[in-house]
Amino acid sequence: MNVLRRTLSSLLLFAIISLLVPLQGIVIGAAAPVQDKPPYIGIRSPYPNKFVTSSVYINAYTADDYSQASLKLYSSDSSTSYFLASSPNGIIQQDISMKGNFGKQTLTFEAYDGKQYTRTLFPIYVDPSLRLKKEQSVVGRILDFNENRILYVNIYGAFTKNRHTGANTPIKIARTILNGKLTPLGCLLQDSTGYMHEYKNGTVLSLRHHGYETLQVKGKYALYKKSVNHTEFYLRDMLTGVVSTVVEKYSGKAELLANGDVLYLDKTTGFMKYSEGKVTLLHKPDETPTGFVYDGVNLMYETVHDTHNFKLYYKKGSNAPILLHTYRFHRRTPHIHYEVHNGWAAYSTAMNNEFQATMINTQGLQKTVINLSNIHQFGTERIHIHDDGQIMVDAGLNHYTSSYNQPVAAKFASSLDNAKYINNKLYGSFADTVLSALASSNSPYVSSSPLGEYTPPIDKIVLKYSGNIVPGPAFEQIEFYKSKEINDVTITTTIRNNELTLQFSKYLLVGSYFGFTIPQRALTDENGTPTDAYAVSQDYYIR
């Protein structure tokens, strides 16, 4: 016991001395400095891939370990960047106008704490068209939709949404999904490694194929190859799961019909039709075909005449094919530059910045339904035809509607995915939203005169519309832009039938500049419908 008391006393004394007298030769290191981390950016709104028409609500903040970080917001497209907003305290909560921005925009959030930057990129999509109506939205990016469902993906996976009830159903698959198409009982999906999967009745089946790029889905059937480089084409009944080999030595293109028939091109024997396991010759062209479209009765195809000339033919039923057009140097692409559907047909031509689309009705009569000038970029979207002669095409990176009975081009969208007619109405998707196209006015803008680079004298500009026009609610908001040389020139606007005249008080001088913008609702047709989905602008340089 005494030994224990002495030990405890010694320890206590040592502890007291340690507090009073610094120990020599012992270095007590200071805590390592905490590393300064870059500021954090939190974004509550919008979510990625959001579609907006005119403005977007931003709710974003910053957080930092040492100091308050500032926050700046920019928007950019493929060529230009715009400043939108900033906050020294790192909080932005406001509606931001996206006026003047079209298509895919990248929102850049930039935080700075005095030492380090953090940048977060956020894609959104902008289209202010008056002819687009929002139908349904999802939290994610839409892959496909039909009358009843929407297929979409986000950071949490793949989902379907019931368009009638709004219910969302997750697709349980441990893969990152890139693409997909709806089927009668589910969907076909492509993952990030290229493999295809079938989702049906709550179950996912891996097809172990890489042929999504060749996939066609119509009715209850799917047509695809195991991979792009395989020669076999497979027909899958999406209800029963039965798979049939359509052709083993495939040497051209194939076209699936909703009843399960398949027309394929064998460059040796011609156009071969597969139906219920039997193959028959449909047509043998005189020249080598390069592509085709087929609706079950009518066939449109292109042949190569020599290395520089391509010919487009149309074969209506059992009739002999007729030559529609001869192209030089550029091949046409099926469904993009020519199409057939339920007895109707259409094809496009483009040359020297001029674009035309021609329709062929069910009696075989042709009519030019779209005629555009000054088109400097030609899009690559599909031509879509409806049973009653409506048509949608892409030209100059914009989407237009027209029809055989009213052959006037009317712009309705700058970008649109999955365009399709459902119950006599045109639909499409853009980012997170399913959209429908409203009917065009009876008087869309057609042209202005004069055109091009101008030489004096010029004292007026006349804008022509396809029908009679009247002033709309934004008529007084028509804007004019003038260079200093003609700053004293006044402009008078008058309307007569289908023409809007901009009359100058005197002739414009050589070297001067003039421009105008007609806002969306500045003019209407006689029924009160705005003439155009977008503002109409034009610049003039007097040479």
Percentage of the chain beyond pLDDT 90 is 62
Q: What's the one-letter identity of residue 145?
A: F
Q: Judge whether 142 and 150 are in contact, CB under 8 Å.
A: yes
Is 384 buried (19+), middle (13-18) or exposed (0-12) by CB count in 10 A?
buried
Give the mean pLDDT of 292-320.
91
Residues with Cβ within 8 Å of residue 118, at least 6 apart in sequence: 38, 39, 40, 41, 62, 69, 110, 111, 112
Bridge partners of 140?
Answer: none
Higher pLDDT, 348 or 160: 160
Is 211 buried (19+), middle (13-18) or exposed (0-12) by CB count in 10 A?
buried
Q: What is the pLDDT of residues 141-180, one digit of tens each?
A: 999 999 999 999 999 999 999 999 999 999 999 999 999 9
Q: What is the pLDDT of residues 21-35, one digit of tens each?
A: 343 333 344 455 557
Average pLDDT along the chain: 87
pLDDT at position 26: 37
**Does 452 have pLDDT greater than 80?**
no
pLDDT at position 477: 95
Bridge partners of 222?
Answer: 217, 236
Say whether the peptide bond before residue 450 is cis (omega within 30 degrees of 0): yes
Q: Judge whether 253 and 292 are in contact, CB under 8 Å.
A: yes
Q: What's the one-letter identity of residue 332?
A: R
Q: Judge whether 432 and 142 are in contact, CB under 8 Å.
A: yes
Q: What is the pLDDT of residues 197-224, one digit of tens each?
A: 999 999 999 988 888 888 999 999 999 9
What is this structure's pTM? 0.85
Q: What is the pLDDT of residues 244-259, one digit of tens each?
A: 988 766 556 899 999 9
pLDDT at position 375: 61
**Does 55 have pLDDT greater than 50?**
yes
H helices within 106-195, ranges in order?
none
Residues listed for the chain: 543
Per 3-state DSSP, the chain is made up of helix, strand and coil in percentages (nearest 5) of 5, 50, 45
For 496-534, b/e burial (b = at least 16 CB within 10 A) is eebebebebeeebeeebebebebbbbbbbbeeebbbbbb
> Could you give the C-alpha distances from 50 to 55, 120, 180, in angstroms and in order?
11, 16, 19
Rounded Cα distance between 309 and 325, Å, is: 10
Q: Judge whether 385 and 393 are in contact, CB under 8 Å.
A: no
Q: Judge whether 378 and 405 are in contact, CB under 8 Å.
A: no
Residues with Cβ within 8 Å of residue 316, at least 6 apart in sequence: 297, 298, 322, 364
Neighbours of 453 (CB within 10 A): 9
Q: Judge whether 425 and 434 are in contact, CB under 8 Å.
A: no
Rounded Cα distance between 291 and 312, Å, is: 10
Rounded Cα distance between 264 and 276, Å, is: 14
pLDDT at position 154: 94
Rounded Cα distance between 322 and 312, Å, is: 9
Percentage of the chain beyond pLDDT 70 is 90
For 275-309, b/e burial (b = at least 16 CB within 10 A) is eeeeeeeebebeeebbbbbbbbebbbbbbeeeeee
Report residue 423: phi and psi, to 5°: 50, 50
Nearest to 184, CA basis, from 138, 139, 144, 232: 144
Using alpha carbons only, what angle is made at residue 146 by residues 145 and 150, rounded to the nearest 5 degrees? 35
Give the mean pLDDT of 513-541.
93
Report residue 128: phi and psi, to 5°: -90, 15
Higher pLDDT, 304 or 12: 304
Which 8-state DSSP code applies to residue 157?
Answer: E
Which 8-state DSSP code applies to residue 187?
Answer: E
Q: Judge whether 369 and 356 are in contact, CB under 8 Å.
A: no
Residue 69, SS3?
coil
Using alpha carbons only, what angle is made at residue 257 by residues 253 and 258, rounded to the nearest 5 degrees? 150
Q: Which residue carries 């230009």 as its tokens? A: 80
- pLDDT confidence tier of residue 230, bands split at 50, 70 and 90: confident
Around 154, how many Cα atoms within 13 Å sit in the side-chain half-sphere?
17
Q: Judge whether 520 and 534 are in contact, CB under 8 Å.
A: yes
Rounded Cα distance between 532 and 412, Å, is: 8
Tokens standing for residue 497: 């039938």
Residue 98, SS3?
coil
Rounded Cα distance between 322 and 313, Å, is: 5
Cα end-to-end span (Å), the chain: 115
- pLDDT confidence tier of residue 329, bands split at 50, 70 and 90: low
